[in-house]
Chains A and B, each alone.
Chain A
Amino acid sequence: AQRVTQPEKLLSVFKGAPVELKCNYSYSGSPELFWYVQYSRQRLQLLLRHISRESIKGFTADLNKGETSFHLKKPFAQEEDSAMYYCALSEDNTDKLIFGTGTRLQVFP
């Protein structure tokens, strides 16, 4: 079965430290992967998707098919990055998204 795993429930770092939020997936087809973010008192929103290969707010994520991973990285964390982050996978030929359980990132000053 298709599955998205985010092993860390909580990740705490200090401002300026590097951040890596882990995401692993299991999927037999060709996956489309996303990172969604939910800031405090805001709606869940798209942060980035692997096919666009862009950097958003300093975050990047590379799809590694060999390791079936899509880790989210940022070299220098900022306090405003504190939020809940969800990795998600889109199944072939459907509109369905499978979400991981989420990782809460806390960035301390």
Chain B
Amino acid sequence: DGGITQSPKYLFRKEGQNVTLSCEQNLNHDAMYWYRQDPGQGLRLIYYSQIVNDFQKGDIAEGYSVSREKKESFPLTVTSAQKNPTAFYLCASTRLKGDEQFFGPGTRLTVL
């Protein structure tokens, strides 16, 4: 079950701490995305990157940061500035504009 991997599967954090979620893909896809999935709200885009060393804010970028130093990797940092960080986070990638997005298994973050 390769393609896109996310780690860890479950993550617990104390309030005030930053935490980084990993996303790696071996599909040679150019574009990568981070979504947040909350019950009743669907998927909301946090950040996306269409090329290495470049990324754009999505609809709910506040309190989050990303980097794209390698094509295969797109880590997401949830900072202490994020007011409601407890959620399920999904990473995705796609080969071409408008093409199918492939999703990772997700990371469930709980702030204690």
Residues of A within 8 A of B43 (CB): 44, 86, 97, 99
Task: Count contacts between A and B, CB distance < 8 Å.
Answer: 46
Residue of B nearest to A46 (CB): B100
Residues 27 to 55 of chain B near chain A (Cβ within 8 Å): 31, 33, 35, 40-45, 48, 50
Q: Please, which residues of chain A bring their CB within 8 A of the CB of B101?
A: 46, 97
Q: Mark A33-77, 1 if CB is under 8 A from B, else 0.
A: 010000000011110010000000000000000000000000000
Chain A 2-13 near chain B by CB (<8 Å), digits 1 or 0: 000010010000
Residue pair A96, B42 in contact (C-beta under 8 Å): no
Q: How large is the interface on B (under 10, 10 to 19, 20 to 34, 35 or more residues)?
A: 20 to 34
Query: Nearest residue in A to B41 (C-beta to C-beta)?
Result: A101
Which residue on chain B has the smallest CB distance to residue A49?
B100
Residue in B closest to A91 when the chains form the complex, CB atoms:
B98
Chain A residues whose C-beta falls within 8 Å of the C-beta of B41 in the assembled complex: 101
Cα(A70)–Cα(B44), bound, Å: 20
Closest chain B residue to A101 by CB distance?
A: B42
B105 at the interface (CB under 8 A from A): yes
Which residues from chain A contact B58 at a C-beta distance below 8 Å?
Answer: 96
> Which of B45, B100, B103 is A96 in contact with, Cβ under 8 Å?
B45
CB closest chain-A residue, reference B35:
A99
Q: Shortest Cβ distance from B48 into chain A, in angstroms?
A: 7
Tell whether B75 is near chain A: CB-to-CB under 8 Å: no
Provide the residues of chain B in CB contact with A97, threshold 8 Å.
Answer: 33, 43, 45, 101
Contact pick for B48, options A44, A49, A93, A96, CB 8 Å? A96
- The residue of chain B having its C-beta at the shortest distance from the C-beta of A86 within the complex is B42
